[in-house]
Structures are given as C-alpha cells and as structure tokens.
Structure 1
Amino acid sequence: MEESKLRGRENFTELKVDTKKYLDPSVDLWEEIRPARKHPARRSYHSASVWQNRMFIYGGQDLREGPQRGFWELHLTTSRWDEDNWEELPTEGQGPLCRHSAIVNDDNMYIFGGSDGITEYNTTLIYNFANRSWSRINPERPTCPPPLDSHTAALYDDGANCYMVVFGGYVSGDRSNETYVLNLNAAKWRQVPLSSPAPEARANHACAVYGDYFYIFGGSNDEGEKLNDIWKLNLKTDTWEQINAQGDIPSGRSGHSAVVFKEFLIIFGGMKDITRETNEMFSFSFERNLWACFQEEHQVKDPVTAEQLEEYKKSKASPTMPRPKNECNSPTRSPIKRTTTNTSPHGESSPSRRKTLYDGPATPISGRIRGNAPHARDGHSAVILGNTMMIFGGDRHQMPFNDVYAYTLVENVVAAPVLNNLIN
C-alpha cells in the first residue's frame, strides 16, 4: 500500500489525538483502525496473512475460553478509511486452532501445525484465495515434522521452487530446535540436518527470510528464560550461524512479531516477563548486523483495571485457576490451556465457552485515529502491506485484544538510528 494512498483520505474527516506528550516521533506514524461492522472475537496466537492488499486472520486463542475457530478478511479501502470492514469467511468444518503458522505463496495460504487445546497437529491446510476452497497435505513420516505448536514459518523462493521453512516450537510439550522445509511445488517435506553450532531449543520466537537466509530472534528456552539471540540458517548449505549483532540489542522476549521492510527486520511488542509486555519497536539491519530502537516503550492507557490485574495475580497462586500464559509451572511444557471438548482434529465441535474477562471499552467512533499507538502486548500478529505494517490482536495480562493498527514504515525513521550509530 503506497504512502500516498495512506495519506489520501478524501471525503473523510480524520480523527486526531494530541501526540505532543510523546517524545518519540514514531508514535505519530500509527493509526488505529476501527471498523464499524462485525469483527473477530478477541484472540491471540492466531495467524495473519496478506493477499492482494487484504489481511486474513485465522484461529487463535483466548486464554480463558480456549482455542478459537474462525477465518476473517479485513477489507482495507483507499478512498474512505471509515469504510474499512471485516468479513467472516467459510472454513468448511475446520475446528478451533491456535499457535499454528501461516504463509502465502501465489493464491494459496498454507497453515501448518497448531493445537485445538487438546491435540497438536502436523497437517498442512491449504486455502486458495481465488476460488475460496480448502485442501490439505497429510503428513508423511519420516520426513515431515512431528505435531508442533508455537513454532514459526516463513516463505523462501530460490528462483526455481518455493518452500515453507518451519523452525522450533513445542513437540509433545518439549521445545525443539529442528528445522523442516516443505517444497510447495512438490508437496514434499524434508528435515534439515542439525549443524553445529545451532540455536538452542525455543518456542514463541519470531522468524523471517531475507535473501538466502532464514533468521530467528528471541523466544523462550527450556528454562523459560526469554532469549535475545539472533541466528541465521543458510538455506543453500543448511548451516546455522549465530550473528554477533551490535547496536541497541533488544532484551529477551517471546510472543513478539517480525516483518521485513527493505533491508530491515522490524520487531514489535512481545513479553519480557510474566505480566510485562511491551510495545517498543526495533529494527535490525541485515546488511550491517545492527540493532536500533526506533520506538521506545509507551504507557498507553491500560485496558486492564487494577482489580483485574490483582485477580490475575491471585489466579497464578491458585491451583484451581488457569496457569499463567506462555509458561506453565514446569517450564519445559507447552503452554496450551487444555479444555474439555469432543472435537476431532479440525472437527466441528468446540470447547465450552466462558465469558471473556476483558470485554474492552465500547466506542461509537469508527474510522482511523492518527497518533494512537498500540497497547503493550504479545501473541499478536504483524503483516506488511507495501510500506505499512498491520498489527492485529494479541493480549496483555490474559486480556485479549481484537484491535487493528497500521504503522507507516518510513525508511529514514527506521534507518536513522542505524545511521546515527555508524556516524558516532
């Protein structure tokens, strides 16, 4: 989506807020999108994909209600921003699913793995955007991955074939550092031999492909520690290398998002510790191996009241309440909240429903509000449309979101800290 289109809002009175209180100029590049029509339920650890300048959300979870079903498309208009709207798409009987991955190649979206709250999967679901039809690639051992959740996946095109590269996540409740590659042309998996050195096992990290390299950053390890290392896998030679990054290196985090913009990896949000999410942003220059923080952490008005936060803290100490998100009492176990259900893999039934603790503030305002930065969060999604990064959902202190934000990526804003580091 071109910047000129983002700024062209004829026949629409733009809603504005005073951003002078922010010292960080990047905040003014945010816009909160408030569609007026029906929208997806609040969720985190879903997937987000882009096809023809439209964003698609699949599945996800509410920590108190369990995994979510549903497939949604966000129509983004270019002439009247107050006409942005969501549309729910048919899933043809696909059941609830969360902590999966999704990539798009040509007219197809490939969804791999995930959990319905009881069972993890290694099936690949395929959705064709052009004819709105579903198909699947069934797992074939021993070359396909085991059932996985909380892993990552990215698209790689070597000029001859296209591939889905899958790394890490939970296997039977334990974290993994294995890599698998699906040839999308041949619908065949292969396991990448584990070279030495290699990243330690992790889950809830972020990944991206740049050139012939697959990058991973952060996540949580077997001890539940938040990681801040960055590695790259040479997809030509199947060898890993830890990057000796310089600059303003982010602290350890999990559940953050990553997109590629020009020569930069853009990191937003994530969880630094239990009940300590963030909304800061970093750029990593693939060409210079340099990190830079181009948006500091901001205290956006918290949607969680002090009473709700206190209830959450008490739930951590109570064996009858759900465990804290992202890490269970045993740090090597998967954080999926198990719920009682009769569903079969990708079946029709769904877990029993309970009221979401955080219902969110009601608002009569629709349209776009410039200068509104997102709340701190993890488990959200991020996609890129031209020079715009779109953020959807996630949660904070077990309080889920279903909000949408657009951030205009301006190269000199993202690159300026890197350039300053080089000058200094």
Structure 2
Amino acid sequence: MEEYKFNSRRPDLKVNTKSHIDTSVELWSEVRPVGRHPSRRSYHSACVWRNQMLIYGGQDLREGPQGGLWALRIPEVNSGEDEEWVEIPIEDRGPLCRHTGIVKDNRMFIFGGSNGDREFNNTLVLDLISLQWTVWTPDVPTCPPPLDSHTACLYEEASVGWMVVFGGFVQGDRTNEVYILNLNTAKWKNAKVTGIKPPSRSNHSAVVYRDHLFIFGGSNDEGEKLNDLWKLDLRTYNWEQIHGLGQVPTPRSGQTAILYKDYMIIFGGMRDITKETNEMHSYEFSSNLWTMFQDEQQIKDPVSAAQLEEFKKAKSPLMPRSKTINTESPHKSSEANRSPELSSGDSSPTRGKRASLYIGPAAPVVGKINGKAPHPRDGHSSILFGDMMVVFGGDRHQMPFNDVYSYALVEQTIKTPLILN
C-alpha cells in the first residue's frame, strides 16, 4: 500500500486570524466513514500506519474493557472516496484498555494496560503485514511493573527505536518512573534520571521533540488535576520543569497531545468530574509560549434533557451500584463494568435490556460535515496525518463516543492568541 500524504487544507477554507477571534470551528470537520463502526470507547490506543489510523482496545465504563483492532482508512485527496472503517482480522488477545501503542517499521507495539481485573507489563507486537502476534515477556528486574494509564512515545536514535514509558498506575498507586524498551533487542531499562522528578501522575499526555520527552498535566496522587510541563533529556536522562509563558492550559487529565512541526497541540481533557473540555492549546518549543487558539465550544448535546432524565431513572443491570464511577483506572471499577454475555459489536437498543443514551451510528450520513467541532471529551485519541489532526472516541459524562473529527492545522492559527471576553 502506498504511503498516504494528507492535504493540509481544504481548498474552500478561509480563516481570518488577524482579527484574533475564535474562528477555529471553521477548521473542524465531522467525518462520517462508511462501513461498520467500532463500538463506542475511550482510553484505547491509536497509531498511524500508512494511510490508516489504527485503534486497539478501549473501554466503555458500563460494559468494561474491549478488544479488537480497527483501521480508519483515509482515501487519497480528491479521489472522491469516503473514509472507511474496517475491522482487522487478528487473533483475539482479550479485552484491554488504558494501554499504549506505537508503530515502528511495520510493527505495532502494545504495552501494559488492564483487562478490568489486572494490569499487565508484557508487550504485544503485531506484524502489520502478516497480522501475527508476538508476545515479549518482561525481563526482570529492568522491566516496568504492570502499568495502566501511562504514556509511551517512540524515540528514534540512529537505527534504534525506543519506546519511552512514563508514569501511570501501579496496582492503584501512581508512579513517576521512566522505562525504556529497545525495539531491536526487546530489552528494557529503568532510566537512572537526574534532576527533580515530576510528581507521580496518571492520564497525562506526552510527546517526543528533538531528543526530549515532554509531559503535560494528568492527575496526581490526590487525584487533583495538573497543568505542569516537564522535559526529560533522552540523552542524559535529566529532568527539568518548564515554566511556560502565555495562555497556560488549566489543569486537566485525559487530554491528548500531538507533535506538529515545532508545536505541541493539546486537545480536550477533563478539568473536573463531569467537566470535560474541547479547548485547544499550542506550545511552541522555541519560544516557550502557550497559546489558546480555540476556546471551549458550546455544542448541543446529542441527547435531550428528557432523554437524560429517562436514562437516569432506568433500571439497568450494567449501571454501577455506587453513584460514583472511577474514571482513572479500570481495576478500581465495580463489577458492573463487565458484561461477558454482551457482544460489543451489537448496537441493538434492547440488547441486555440495558438503558443507553447513544445507540447505533451517529447518522446515516457519510462524508464530511465542515465547520462542526467535537463535543468536550476525555480519554479520546488524537493522531497527525500530514497537516491534519484526527480525533476518535473518548467520553463525556462517562458516556462514550465512536465519532471521528478532523482539524486542519494552520500554523498562523495555532500561534495566534484569542481575545477572550
């Protein structure tokens, strides 16, 4: 399959950045792919391979962790074809969520995560050509412990690829350790870092830029949201806290970060319980400057107030017994998170006699709806195709999505601060 190059801008798009008002919604498109969609999910992994966005695993807080591999296939620009979802036929490795995934040289590396009962520290390696799995068992004592809600980034140094793992949950407690996996030898090492370490955290975001790992936000040991930025030199393993200038994002967890040119782009996240956001910020590495280039967009809920009340009153075998659902780590969730008798691919409104707000596909429409921004969310994924950010899934108020949005990244826009009232 030929390597895909995404067109950076729609030819019909005109954005006025000189006025400093929020016109960013014009750069969004809701993507309605053809084909059977993956079930609604959050805290999955997402990778880019050739012309595809690969989605593995994830969770629905009421149905529990999920398995399976899906590919969102992106057609060539101006081909007249629509984006398409395809379920990839692979050996079932069981449900998994809050893991991480990276791609290097036609192989996808899945590390850690939880199946709802326990966490893992093995590495699943999928050959994307043969679709055959290999399992790398951890090499004690240099390997990380079983982890979930961590981050993993690809770091390439000469001919060697490394997976850099930071933070996450270890048996319910957060950590701030750094582990590095050599993708050539399958050997781990626990990085011997210097400098002041970042506080332990989970559900943060991370990118690698010019031999440095940058981590942002997440939740600390007390469950408080963070908005601190840290830099780890991957040559010396020295930590340094970065005190950014400008419009620093508010504390949040479950957001995504992608690397675009010389910027880190932050989208979404949870600022408090049932308070997700769809703000967008950029961080320019050279100037140490944060910029908010999209304020929070108020978008009509996909369900009415009456439907919400009906859902709250409904008796469901899958609703948790407690009013509080843990959104940080699935191994702390109630037994109601699991429902082995239900098929995750069945979107019937009566399956399991379960009340559900979001049933079936979003609409029978395929193609793109220009100028439509995504709802606030956390636990989603964001990846970069050329000059386009693509967002999938996540949840809001503990209700998952399986929608797809694309955002045209324009450098002038992402570095132009908004004038906020």
| TM-score (structure 2 length as normaliser) | 0.87
How far apart, in 2, do the equivalents of 1:37 and 1:319 lie? 32
Give SS of 1:27's match.
helix
Aligned to 2:126: 127
> Does the alignment pair 1:28 with 2:26?
yes
CA offsets 1:355-387 (integer angstroms, 9 cap, x no match): 462225752211101101000000000000111
The alpha-carbon deviation at position 260 of structure 1 amounts to: 0.2
Aligned to 2:142: 143
How far apart, in 2, do the equivalents of 1:232 and 1:308 lie? 45
Aligned to 1:346: none
Is the Cα contact below 8 Å between 1:390 and 1:407 reproduced in 2?
yes
Aligned to 2:17: none
How far apart, in 2, do the equivalents of 1:142 and 1:304 lie? 50
Are residues 256 and 338 of structure 1, via their aligned partners in 2, closer, same or farther at CA, if it must alter by over 3 Å? farther
Amino acid at match of 2:235: K
CA offsets 1:270-311 (integer angstroms, 9 cap, x no match): 000000000010000111111000011000111244356566
Are residues 327 and 125 of structure 1, via their aligned partners in 2, closer, same or farther at CA, if it must alter by over 3 Å? closer
How far apart, in 1, do the equivalents of 2:277 and 2:313 lie? 18
Amino acid at match of 1:113: G
Amino acid at match of 1:381: S
Aligned to 1:38: 36
> Does the alignment pair 1:164 with 2:160?
no
Aligned to 1:406: 406
**1:26-175 equivalent positions in 2, closer than 5 A:** 26-78=24-76, 79-80=78-79, 83-175=82-174
Aligned to 2:265: 266
Give SS of 2:364's match.
coil
Aligned to 1:205: 204
How far apart, in 2, do the equivalents of 1:337 and 1:309 lie? 22
1:7 to 6, 10, 22: 10
**1:224-235 equivalent positions in 2, closer than 5 A:** 224-235=223-234
Amino acid at match of 2:321: T
**1:361-380 equivalent positions in 2, closer than 5 A:** 362-380=362-380
> Does the alignment pair 1:321 with 2:319?
no
How far apart, in 2, do the equivalents of 1:184 and 1:282 lie? 32
Is the Cα contact below 8 Å between 1:293 and 1:417 reproduced in 2?
yes
Are residues 272 and 212 of structure 1, via their aligned partners in 2, closer, same or farther at CA, if it must alter by over 3 Å? same
The percentage of aligned residue pairs carrying the same residue is: 52
Give SS of 1:28's match.
helix
Aligned to 2:176: 177
The alpha-carbon deviation at position 139 of structure 1 amounts to: 0.9
The alpha-carbon deviation at position 207 of structure 1 amounts to: 0.4
371-380 vs 81-90, which deviates more? 81-90
Give SS of 1:60's match.
strand
CA offsets 1:381-408 (integer angstroms, 9 cap, x no match): 0000111111000000011000001111
129-138 vs 159-168, which deviates more? 129-138
Are residues 369 and 89 of structure 1, via their aligned partners in 2, closer, same or farther at CA, if it must alter by over 3 Å? same
Are residues 374 and 40 of structure 1, via their aligned partners in 2, closer, same or farther at CA, if it must alter by over 3 Å? same
Structure 1 gap segments, 5+ residues each: 15-21, 344-348
Structure 2 gap segments, 5+ residues each: 14-19, 345-350
Is the Cα contact below 8 Å between 1:81 and 1:368 reproduced in 2?
no
Aligned to 1:390: 390
Is the Cα contact below 8 Å between 1:267 and 1:282 reproduced in 2?
yes
Aligned to 1:417: 417
How far apart, in 1, do the equivalents of 2:146 and 2:280 lie? 32
CA offsets 1:1-24 (integer angstroms, 9 cap, x no match): 656476379xxxx9xxxxxxx952
Amino acid at match of 1:27: V
Are residues 222 and 160 of structure 1, via their aligned partners in 2, closer, same or farther at CA, if it must alter by over 3 Å? same
Give SS of 2:414's match.
helix
Are residues 356 and 410 of structure 1, via their aligned partners in 2, closer, same or farther at CA, if it must alter by over 3 Å? farther
The alpha-carbon deviation at position 313 of structure 1 amounts to: 11
Are residues 239 and 26 of structure 1, via their aligned partners in 2, closer, same or farther at CA, if it must alter by over 3 Å? same
Are residues 239 and 93 of structure 1, via their aligned partners in 2, closer, same or farther at CA, if it must alter by over 3 Å? same
360-369 vs 223-232, which deviates more? 360-369
Aligned to 1:217: 216
Are residues 337 and 107 of structure 1, via their aligned partners in 2, closer, same or farther at CA, if it must alter by over 3 Å? farther
How far apart, in 1, do the equivalents of 2:206 and 2:117 lie? 26
Is the Cα contact below 8 Å between 2:142 and 2:188 reproduced in 1?
yes
The alpha-carbon deviation at position 90 of structure 1 amounts to: 2.0
How far apart, in 1, do the equivalents of 2:144 and 2:231 lie? 20
Are residues 293 and 71 of structure 1, via their aligned partners in 2, closer, same or farther at CA, if it must alter by over 3 Å? same
CA offsets 1:65-86 (integer angstroms, 9 cap, x no match): 0001111011111234652111
RMSD over aligned Cα, in angstroms?
2.9
How far apart, in 1, do the equivalents of 2:175 and 2:273 lie? 22
How far apart, in 2, do the equivalents of 1:225 and 1:407 lie? 30
The alpha-carbon deviation at position 118 of structure 1 amounts to: 0.4
